[in-house]
Amino acid sequence: MPIMNNQITVKNLVKRYGACYALNNVNLDIAKGEVVVIIGPSGGGKSTFLRILMQLEKIDAGEIHIEQVCVARTNNFGRVEYIDKNIWRQVKQKIGIVFQNFPLFPNKTVLENLVLAPLLLKKSSKKEAIIEAQNLLKKIGMGEKSNSYPCELSGGQKQRAAIARALSMQPEIILFDEPTSALDPELVNNIIDVIKILAIENGKTVVITTHQLNFAAEIASKIIFMDQGKVIETGTPQELLNNPQSKRLQLFLREFNK
Query: At 21, which CATH number?
Result: 3.40.50.300
pLDDT, average across residues 58-62: 96
The pTM assigned to this predicted structure is 0.89
Backbone φ and ψ of 68, nearest 5° = 70, 10
24 within domain boundaries: yes
pLDDT confidence tier of residue 4, bands split at 50, 70 and 90: low
Number of domains in the chain: 1
214 within domain boundaries: yes
| pLDDT 10s digits, 5-15 | 789 999 999 99
232 within domain boundaries: yes
Q: Does the pLDDT at position 3 exceed 60?
A: no
Top pLDDT among 26 and 179 is at 26
251 within domain boundaries: yes
| pLDDT 10s digits, 117-156 | 899 888 889 999 999 999 999 988 899 999 999 999 988 8
140 within domain boundaries: no
pLDDT confidence tier of residue 86, bands split at 50, 70 and 90: very high
1 within domain boundaries: yes
16 within domain boundaries: yes
pLDDT confidence tier of residue 182, bands split at 50, 70 and 90: low
Q: Which domain holds residue 252?
A: 1-94+206-258
151 within domain boundaries: no
pLDDT, average across residues 42-56: 94
Top pLDDT among 229 and 123 is at 229
Lowest mean pLDDT among 51-60, 115-124, 220-229, 237-246: 115-124
pLDDT, average across residues 230-235: 96
pLDDT of residue 258: 63
pLDDT of residue 257: 73
Overall residue count recorded for the chain in this entry: 258
